[in-house]
Structure 1
């Protein structure tokens, strides 16, 4: 039986009459991720056109001039005929197609396309009539080209492009050819008549496509996925005799292939029942064309970020996916690995394909309790995996839902959609690292390594150690690792215990890291903020008017920050550490912060230093966490305190903000934080992050509290660090003739430092400069003085220490101190 949309059950009809198919009702309309991706690509293309014409105005103007001069020699009669044909054809062809769709009872598609056309018409008219007059110049001038006789977008063809995009002419080549020919002809006549420029036509095309795809995604498209009845009918054409079928997967899960269990009618009910070991004879996977783009952006990101041999192809056509999975199923079977036998494959209409496998009754590895997972099962899994490796077959998705434990206790490898044949060594080792992690998640690292070594050997496991990295694992496995963050480390330790000479240095798999993008964005923001200001400065005048004794005071204050940072760390470490080397570590941190976010580099190098000094990993992390926690508390308290002091000074109107504003801001932040903590997911995330960051901090703080000397050292270093940085900023302001109340300077520093710590860019680049410049300007300094002071402050605290920081870093590495 097949459910209708109302939930009732009706018998199947047609070729499969009498074969019941149990499945939930499919939605009438679906939102395809491909439409959303095309909408995004069109918007990006439109933005690129805007950027191009804004930075290359002379080039676009020159191109337009050449086209106008070239078409001036064309016969007037020919141009007139082309204009007449395009004027009628650009509307006639879409209308004729819409009428044809109406006769075929496809009126909803036409209605959505008309909505897209209306939206496009409204947007283009608004751009031409309102935006142009409201904001002339710049990009619009480049788009318009030619004065008031042209428009930034082509009003006549943008709605037609939106209509054609939304109505969908895929598979109808003649209609596509005629319609786009008339659109191209209309664009050409508009170009020759100077109605629109080349840039305007490009913007028109991309705008029409964006509106068409956006409307299509918002309204949804008719569901093209074949029903279970069509799937059963296809199985009959393959020579099979379905008796009953049912949907097995969860229809609510997006991005998943549909699965059907099918019961076959064989030689006789008694004979069939005697030979069948499970509720179904076949498990059928349906590949829907619209699902091929599910998760495409993530796959493209992985393909771009990781080396080519690390990931598979980001996008495959439906036919290619069907052929690849079929080939992998046959290759795995030929290699002797246990996998469900492929019975048949076929396309299901034009929008789907199916693969029919013999059904193997059992449970996925994820559903097998740990106490039922025996060493024999794990060894069997490793034997099947070894056969894949011997056949040079890479699975690429050895997760817990692709490893099947049959009711007979034997292990099967399933779901070969991402696999590849004739794989290289790296792909095979990545499979090994993936399966090691998958098994360790369910059976523990000790059992995973022990059972793998008994089948694969110690040398094979040692080769996988450099690839035991989070970035090398599948998305689902990385999510599971959040519950056990040190699992990969424990797997490595188990392998090294078996083979101590194992090379454990990780292999570089990434082309770039996300922090590289953050760095580029931060530098771009910094350049956008600072470069225009620097370009307007007269450096000769600044050097001649700068008060140099304040510059040297700022330099001395900057140097004193490293001593304060060293005492801040020493105060929270009960063990005795050399002061000189601790100061040198803080200098080295100034080099590290250029390749790591501001709040991360110092923590990492200090933790490493404590470990190299003989302090165990747990107490080392706890000591650094304790210093960071106390620093955070002191930072907040000082910000509130000096905010009140700033509001109570006699020249408060010139400084940052009165105390009332500080109170309002604090209360508002508290209200937002309280509201966020009422959301369970946010509360759990915050709790896990704080637990991971400050685990073991309280016992370490108790140890410090037992020594008043250590406590004073830590608090003194924390306060001294703020004082020296504020002094450096104040001296930088005074070096260029500026003057602010000292309480305002402290508030400015504390605010900018908080912003720099929150932004994940090296040294807080971009964020600190912008926050400091804005805050100093609001406080009453001129833009020139504020910019000069910020540049001097950042030169002394960020850029000047880089060279000595590198020297200190290299020295400490040679001494094995970090």
Structure 2
């Protein structure tokens, strides 16, 4: 068999000159086969494997979880440690044996493994392990000194148990880092010896009260993290087989290669080779490398977590599973009669790679075909190929321009079988139709894309795919193209509805949640922690029993009046008649919705829905709510300026703002400049505002034509603010503190603006902090301010939830929402 060497080639892999990238053969093949020149770049000697980085991140996450859990279950760990200590004292001989064996073996086993590796000429791996051991020793020592120095006292007590000892065992950290860096886990016998030794070492130190359970666990995890970080930092020896090994594997499959050239990698990063055979034919060979199996794993995990189970793919597959999956899909596509490259052979290349050999078809991807050359005949061929797959329940899962090819005769060829599914369900088949519809619409327009699909697949298939025309369902490349081409998906839906106007297909929810939902959940958890920490100092029973009931009753009336005011405001901006009390119920229902939506979103959504149910056209409903929000913003700014002027005119003229206030004002100014000065942020803001207020001006003109509506809108808008200010003022007075109404108004208007911007439900956390901070700056004692804000939020946010739920249920039952 020929011994082939590859030399470095810096030319483009898809079109380099073989003469420039000529490889040097060593000798002729023993079977008489002439030398094969493998044209490919010189493979790097070392690689940074994504798997090492992912293991490092996973270890850090486990370490953080262990520390948090240990801090929470501190008393349980203390009891467990006492039980183990008592047990060790009952069998002192066993403890002494463990101490002797662990202390000696923890040094002997790593040394023996190093000698064995050097004997097998693998000294470089030992050197990597020594680097990790040195880093582990230094890192654990420095971390221990940092903890002993008084930083993170709770963590120090947790790791040391309050005794004079190392927070992290320096020797154990370096040993674990060494074992991780030399990949001892791949050798079952050595792995068992190493971890048995480490367990004996920990037992010996634990029975001697020189280490605690949390310290032992944290030490092992820190050592593993340092080992994986070292592996990723210095890289690992490249075990990918070179082109010569690919040629040798093909010869074992009875092929006779005479030329080999590496071409551009596929979209998953797998290597590809163009192989010329002695009979004049060619092969396209795909090489699956084991170290590439985890490439893109974070994205795949995120998709599995975010999407429903029917649409997601397995995040991790073994090398053999990936080989079998692609081979099965290729054979199934051939059996279905689809035009795909024939799979001619598969083979493993050692233990680190495998190959799939396809017949070569001279084609070009559809991405390289100009739009004007994509005629109706070509579109029909594409859909016919997809129909052949769908008849046999085969889902391609990647119908894009790089997997749809056109040969010299103009025939369509489908490639990239690895992403497909055999025996696919209806949802996956409909996803294929939605993906191809969208891709072709981006190339030839929605109308031609839908017309060509309907001619082959039929209107029913398109109607079934219509609910899946969602960006989340499409490939990453198609989603990127859609971000530049607006209104493509709505246009596709309109053309499908024109073909099948009476079709009723159930809505399909592909996402478990949206990213904004995750952000809201995280922000809500942080806000709840802040609120609970702030109010933990307040005795709720004391607040309820000591509050003046007269003032509390006034605050409750003001809270109820705010819902009536909100109903009046909405009625004022809608020329169509709205019943008052049902509109009041809608405002109560919005208080229930605020529990699961940010403050600035819940009310807008439910009011818009209510108007649409009342027969107001969608555009007019959005415009009415947008007009009310715009006028509310104008009133808010005007009242803030008015009350601030009144408050400032009654204070000393020598008032100097605090440093914190100046910093806040500067931060707000910087934020405004950033939003208005950075084009992407400015476009995002203008786009969102234009969507909300696009039809506001005509709606305002309609309101101005009716004096009664104009008065109703202005009175309702003004009453909302005044009722909330009155409620807060009464809550403060309920605890016996006097403060001017204007000062309370300034505090409320400022805090309300902060709460509206917060992504938490009802501005939870942000409103409380802003109100308490504002009242303290206004001269209210902190304990009293906290109690007053607690009462205020109880009356305006939490108490309306129950009637809000009842109103929401009632309105839904009567189809008003």
The bucket for the TM-score relative to the shorter chain is: 0.7 to 0.9
Closer/same/farther in 2, CA of residues 259 and 620 from structure 1, 3 Å limit: farther
The CA RMSD measured in Å over matched residues stands at 3.7
Give, in angstroms, the shift of residue 556 of structure 1: 3.3
Which string of whole-angstrom CA distances, capped at 9 and with x for unpartnered residues, describes residues 53-79 of structure 1? Answer: 222223222322232232334353x54
CA distance in 2, matches of 1:694, 1:469: 23
CA distance in 2, matches of 1:115, 1:18: 42
- Does residue 122 of structure 1 match 2:138? yes
CA distance in 2, matches of 1:577, 1:464: 40
For the residue of structure 2 that corresponds to 1:157, the secondary structure is helix
Partners of 2:88 and 2:95 within 8 A in 1: no
Question: Which residue does the alignment assign to 2:231?
Answer: 216
Q: Which aligned pairs between 1:265-304 and structure 2 lie closer than 5 A?
A: 265-267=277-279, 272=280, 281-304=282-305
Question: Which residue does the alignment assign to 1:32?
Answer: 49
CA distance in 1, matches of 2:653, 2:257: 84
Q: Which aligned pairs between 1:36-51 and structure 2 lie closer than 5 A?
A: 36-51=53-68
Question: Which residue does the alignment assign to 2:17?
Answer: none
Question: Which residue does the alignment assign to 1:258?
Answer: 270
Which string of whole-angstrom CA distances, capped at 9 and with x for unpartnered residues, describes residues 379-404 of structure 1? Answer: 22222222222222233333443333
CA distance in 1, matches of 2:479, 2:671: 31
For the residue of structure 2 that corresponds to 1:156, the secondary structure is helix
Question: Which residue does the alignment assign to 2:379?
Answer: 378
Which string of whole-angstrom CA distances, capped at 9 and with x for unpartnered residues, describes residues 525-581 of structure 1? Answer: 3442333554543344323321233323333333343355456556666x4453625
Q: Which aligned pairs between 1:334-733 and structure 2 lie closer than 5 A?
A: 334-484=335-485, 486-512=487-513, 514=515, 517-518=518-519, 520-566=521-567, 569=570, 575-578=575-578, 580=580, 582-628=583-629, 631=632, 650=651, 658=657, 665-674=664-673, 683-688=679-684, 690-695=686-691, 697=693, 700-701=696-697, 704=700, 708=704, 720-733=719-732
Partners of 2:129 and 2:181 within 8 A in 1: yes
Question: Which residue does the alignment assign to 2:16?
Answer: none
Partners of 1:568 and 1:715 within 8 A in 2: yes
- Does residue 200 of structure 1 match 2:215? yes
For the residue of structure 1 that corresponds to 2:301, the secondary structure is helix
Closer/same/farther in 2, CA of residues 331 and 157 from structure 1, 3 Å limit: same
CA distance in 2, matches of 1:128, 1:245: 56
Give, in angstroms, the shift of residue 333 of structure 1: 1.0
Give, in angstroms, the shift of residue 314 of structure 1: 1.5
CA distance in 1, matches of 2:312, 2:412: 26
Closer/same/farther in 2, CA of residues 161 and 490 from structure 1, 3 Å limit: same
Q: Which aligned pairs between 1:12-161 and structure 2 lie closer than 5 A?
A: 12-13=24-25, 18-24=35-41, 26-74=43-91, 76=93, 79-98=95-114, 109-132=125-148, 134=150, 138-145=154-161, 147-148=162-163, 150-161=165-176
Give, in angstroms, the shift of residue 103 of structure 1: 6.8
For the residue of structure 1 that corresponds to 2:171, the secondary structure is coil
Give, in angstroms, the shift of residue 589 of structure 1: 2.1
Give, in angstroms, the shift of residue 324 of structure 1: 0.9
CA distance in 1, matches of 2:714, 2:239: 67
Closer/same/farther in 2, CA of residues 72 and 332 from structure 1, 3 Å limit: same
CA distance in 1, matches of 2:441, 2:763: 38
Give, in angstroms, the shift of residue 325 of structure 1: 0.8
Closer/same/farther in 2, CA of residues 671 and 48 from structure 1, 3 Å limit: closer
Which string of whole-angstrom CA distances, capped at 9 and with x for unpartnered residues, describes residues 304-339 of structure 1? Answer: 333322212111111211111111111111122222
Partners of 2:106 and 2:201 within 8 A in 1: yes
Partners of 1:225 and 1:351 within 8 A in 2: yes
Which string of whole-angstrom CA distances, capped at 9 and with x for unpartnered residues, describes residues 238-294 of structure 1? Answer: 3334444444336xx9x7323434141333xxxx3xxx7xxxx33322222222212
Which string of whole-angstrom CA distances, capped at 9 and with x for unpartnered residues, describes residues 345-398 of structure 1? Answer: 222333322222223333434444443322332222222222222222233333
Closer/same/farther in 2, CA of residues 463 and 6 from structure 1, 3 Å limit: closer
Paired positions, count: 796
215-224 or 57-66, which deviates more: 215-224
CA distance in 2, matches of 1:519, 1:807: 25
Question: Which residue does the alignment assign to 1:185?
Answer: 200
Partners of 1:776 and 1:786 within 8 A in 2: yes
585-594 or 699-708, which deviates more: 699-708
Give, in angstroms, the shift of residue 521 of structure 1: 3.3
* TM-score calculated relative to the size of structure 1: 0.86
CA distance in 2, matches of 1:801, 1:428: 47
Give, in angstroms, the shift of residue 160 of structure 1: 1.2
Partners of 1:705 and 1:711 within 8 A in 2: no
Closer/same/farther in 2, CA of residues 358 and 5 from structure 1, 3 Å limit: closer
Give, in angstroms, the shift of residue 157 of structure 1: 0.8
Closer/same/farther in 2, CA of residues 757 and 396 from structure 1, 3 Å limit: farther
CA distance in 1, matches of 2:756, 2:526: 16
Partners of 2:619 and 2:695 within 8 A in 1: no
Closer/same/farther in 2, CA of residues 210 and 409 from structure 1, 3 Å limit: same
CA distance in 2, matches of 1:726, 1:626: 23
Unaligned runs of 5+ in 2: 12-19
Closer/same/farther in 2, CA of residues 244 and 600 from structure 1, 3 Å limit: farther
Partners of 2:307 and 2:512 within 8 A in 1: yes
Give, in angstroms, the shift of residue 298 of structure 1: 2.6
Partners of 2:627 and 2:699 within 8 A in 1: no
CA distance in 2, matches of 1:731, 1:673: 35
Closer/same/farther in 2, CA of residues 722 and 263 from structure 1, 3 Å limit: same
CA distance in 2, matches of 1:466, 1:525: 36
Give, in angstroms, the shift of residue 10 of structure 1: 5.7
CA distance in 2, matches of 1:772, 1:118: 53
Question: Which residue does the alignment assign to 1:235?
Answer: 250
Which string of whole-angstrom CA distances, capped at 9 and with x for unpartnered residues, describes residues 110-140 of structure 1? Answer: 5544343333223322444441462586454
Question: Which residue does the alignment assign to 1:789?
Answer: 788
Give, in angstroms, the shift of residue 732 of structure 1: 2.3
Question: Which residue does the alignment assign to 1:763?
Answer: 762
Partners of 1:647 and 1:658 within 8 A in 2: no
Closer/same/farther in 2, CA of residues 487 and 595 from structure 1, 3 Å limit: farther
Closer/same/farther in 2, CA of residues 165 and 625 from structure 1, 3 Å limit: farther
Partners of 2:293 and 2:319 within 8 A in 1: yes
CA distance in 1, matches of 2:737, 2:44: 68
Which string of whole-angstrom CA distances, capped at 9 and with x for unpartnered residues, describes residues 89-123 of structure 1? Answer: 32333344445556777666555443433332233
Unaligned runs of 5+ in 1: none
Closer/same/farther in 2, CA of residues 333 and 671 from structure 1, 3 Å limit: same
Question: Which residue does the alignment assign to 2:240?
Answer: 225
Partners of 2:270 and 2:286 within 8 A in 1: yes
CA distance in 2, matches of 1:702, 1:152: 70
Partners of 1:257 and 1:286 within 8 A in 2: no
CA distance in 1, matches of 2:673, 2:462: 49
